[in-house]
Structures are given as structure tokens and as C-alpha cells.
Amino acid sequence: SMEADNVDLAAMVDECPNVVFHEQRKASFDRASWCYDKQKNAICTSDKLAAAGFHYTGTKADPSAAACAFCLKEMLFDDTDDPWEEHVSHSPSCFFVRLNQHDEKQLTMQQFLQLVAYRKSKLYGKWMRSQIDQFQTAVNYVAEMKPK
């Protein structure tokens, strides 16, 4: 049996915790050799993505994917996309977007803590929805087993 106090819920809920700071987000693109960084006139650089709140979530199939570290919105980017404009248009209610502060060193402690709390609330919401989906799948499976 699993002891309740041995379960690291934070680790279960947050699969990539090191994305809160610009430097960490930029590093996620560098590790992946972001596909547009070598393109001469690309607008959608890893630096602009990191500044706009995104970290790398790409795969071999979708190498141009990135997600906001705060609202968790995942998007596929083209080389001509402006990451900040895309973020604003696709996720206007994101707390990071609403703060509109590109230099994290200028954030007040309160703003920073609110930003982290916002991220946590989004992560727990996403995790709870996945738990509910799994439970519903199990319920449906059991219901199918019942003799008609």
C-alpha cells in the first residue's frame, strides 16, 4: 500500500519544474537546438520565446512546439511568428501576459509569488482533469462488464 506521506504530489503534478526563470526556459531551447535559431532572418528565436514565457516542448514529429511556463498553453511556431504577439493573441488571460513585464528582475516579490501560484493552480487543474478522465475511463470499462 502507498503511504500517503510518501507520495510526492508536486513531482507528479509538475513534470518540468525548472521553467519559471527566463534562463531556464532559454536553456530548454538550447538543449534542443531550437529549429529557427540557425535561420538567418527568423523572428521566432529561442531568446524571444523564453522572454515571452515559453519553454521547449517539441518532439521529433513537432520540433517547433513550445508551452507557456505559466498558463501551460502549448503552440506550434513558425519562423515568422512573434512569440509575444502569439502569446497575447492565443492566451490573453495568462497572468504572465497580463503582467507584461519582460524583465523578470523588475517583478516585485508579490508579482513573482503570484506568478508561481498561478502556474501551480494551472498545473493542479490540468492534473485533476487527467485524473477525472482516467476515473471516467475506468467507470466506463466497469459499466461495460456488467451483464446486460
Identify the pLDDT of residue 148: 74
Residues 127-137 have a mean pLDDT of 93
Report yes or no: 99 and 111 within 8 Å, Cβ to Cβ. yes
C-alpha dihedral, 42 to 43 to 45 to 47, nearest 10°: 150
- Domain region containing 64: 4-145
Integer Rg of the chain from CA = 19
Predicted confidence (pLDDT) at residue 19 exceeds the cutoff of 60? yes
Specify the DSSP element, H or E, that contains 46.
helix 46-51
Give me the CATH number covering residue 39.
1.10.1170.10
Identify the pLDDT of residue 103: 86
The total of structural domains in the chain comes to 1
Identify the pLDDT of residue 7: 59
Burial of residue 107, with CB atoms counted within 10 A of its CB: 0-12 exposed, 13-18 middle, 19 or more buried: middle
- Tens digits of residue pLDDT in 33-88: 999 999 999 999 999 999 999 999 999 999 999 999 999 999 999 999 999 999 99
CB 72: neighbour CB atoms within 10 A?
Answer: 15
- Tens digits of residue pLDDT in 77-131: 999 999 999 999 999 999 999 999 888 899 999 999 999 999 999 999 999 999 9
| pTM for the full predicted model | 0.80
**What confidence tier does 16 reach under pLDDT thresholds 50, 70, 90?**
low
Identify the pLDDT of residue 34: 96
